[in-house]
Amino acid sequence: MNYRWFYILLANIALLSANIWLFVDKSSPDVVQDKDSDVELPVFKVGPLKDFGISSVQSFHFPLMDPLPSKEEQLQTLLIQTQSTVIQKDNTIKKEQQKRTQTSQRFSLLSKENAVLQQQLLALEEELKKQQALLSDEKSKVARLGKVEKEVPVFETQITRVKNAIDSKPDLIKSKVTTSKPGNESSTDEIEIKKFSGSMEFGFSYEQDNQVTRSLNGRLILDYDEVDKYNFNSDLEFEFENEDDESSTQKYRWQLQSDYNLDPANLVYARSDINRSKFSSYEQEDIFTIGYGRIFFNTERHKFNIEIGPGYRFAVPNAGEDAVSIDEFIVRTRLNYERVVTDSLQVAIDTVLETGRGNSVHSVNFKAQNRIYQELYLIFNFDYKFTQNVPVDTVNQEISSGLSLLYAF
């Protein structure tokens, strides 16, 4: 172990000798005299440092010998670094805020454009609905005109056209008659819609056997029709019967009805039916109803429609007869079918059911009319009426039939 320390000491001495030999100038040493004594000390000159790759003593740097920085310098350096980081983050935040502001502005512009487009879309939808309604009206008009329009030869005279119109005109089913302007026979025929129409009906019978019986009945019908808008109808009917100069039957009936068309197939109506009869079960029967009607089909040859609605009935029995039902709410249902069999023969079936809590009335009317000449018709009528509850000593069923002449205008 002592030899180990000895070898280390020798190595250090050898290194020291080598340093002295390398850094000390081998020329004659300068002699320096000590100020405090007369002894002169030799001075060894060190050769130029450039011989060892060192330019100067100042440039010869030993890193291990540099002094450590102070705490203030460390804090200052850290502060500068922190400030630089904060500035960078602030710049990043500002850029993000600018991007967000630009995005918000763009979103606001897009929202305004969307609102304007929505308003334009609503306006276009309203215009489309109006155009569709107009188109539907035009189609319905074209369909109505197409039902009655007939092909007329170009060289057909006006008299022939009028004659054909009269011969083929259906009376139970209203239609349009084609006419042309006077003095302009070569022009295209125009469709004329007849708004006002009517008819007068009279019947008379005379019988002589054991008794002399005379009867007179009449009817006046007035109708005003505004196509696809509204319709007014008045139907006044009366009947007188006399046996051996004594009055046996007096009957009046006046029916008024007003229809308002919702569209070509649907309507609403208000109706009054006033009956006065001197010798029947009820002296007075007044019925007032409102309701809904629907036309299932209406062509030149046939028509079918229904009506249904609530109403109120006033029923007053004749003197000396017990009352069965007086003043009650009812529900009225009507089915009506009209048919043009030939150019001169038309038929119609009309059935009505009036249902109340205390009494119900069902009636059926069959009518056939045949053209005799132009606007003159022979009419056959058959009426059946059934009343559920009637006064004592009166019948539930009432049946009547007859022939009469009708003039239409």
β 40-43/397-408 pair status: unpaired
Sign of CA dihedral 285, 243, 405, 196: negative
- Is 315 or 7 the better-scoring residue by pLDDT? 315
- Do residues 399 and 384 make contact, with C-beta atoms less than 8 angstroms apart? yes
Pairing of strands 30-33, 40-43: antiparallel
**Nearest of 350, 377, 348, 371 to residue 362 by alpha carbon:** 350
pLDDT of residue 175: 41
Give the Cα separation of 284 and 50 in Å (integer): 152
| Segment 302-310 mean pLDDT | 94
CB crowding 196-209: b at 16 or more within 10 Å, else e: eeebebebeeeeee
CATH number belonging to the domain at 195-408, selected among 3.40.50.300, 2.40.50.140, 2.40.160.40, 1.10.3720.10: 2.40.160.40
- Give the pLDDT confidence of 85-131 residue by residue, as tens digits: 888 888 889 889 888 889 888 998 998 999 899 989 999 998 998 88
Q: Which residues, other chains included, contact 43 with Cβ-Cβ below 8 Å and sequence gap of 6+?
A: 29, 30, 31, 32
Q: 268, 231 in Cβ contact below 8 A?
A: no
Q: How confident is the prediction for the chain on average, in pLDDT?
A: 76
Q: What is the 3-state secondary structure (H, E, C) of 60-90?
A: CCCHHHCCCCCHHHHHHHHHHHHHHHHHHHH
Q: How confident is the model at residue 246 (pLDDT cuts 50, 70, 90)?
A: low
User: How far, in whole angstroms, is CA 266 from its chain's centroid?
Assistant: 18
Alpha carbon distances (Å) from 338 to 66, 174, 305, 349: 128, 11, 9, 7
For residue 326, give the H/E element and its range.
Answer: none
Q: Which residues pair with 355 in a beta bridge?
A: 331, 360
* Cα 292 off chain centre by: 22
How is residue 5 written in tokens? 């320390």
pTM of the model: 0.53
Average pLDDT over residues 175-197: 48
Residue 166 has pLDDT above 60, yes or no: no
d(CA 31, CA 20): 18
Amino acid at 115: A
Least Cα distance to 162 among 143, 146, 185, 141 occurs for 185
Question: Is pLDDT larger for residue 218 or for residue 27?
Answer: 218
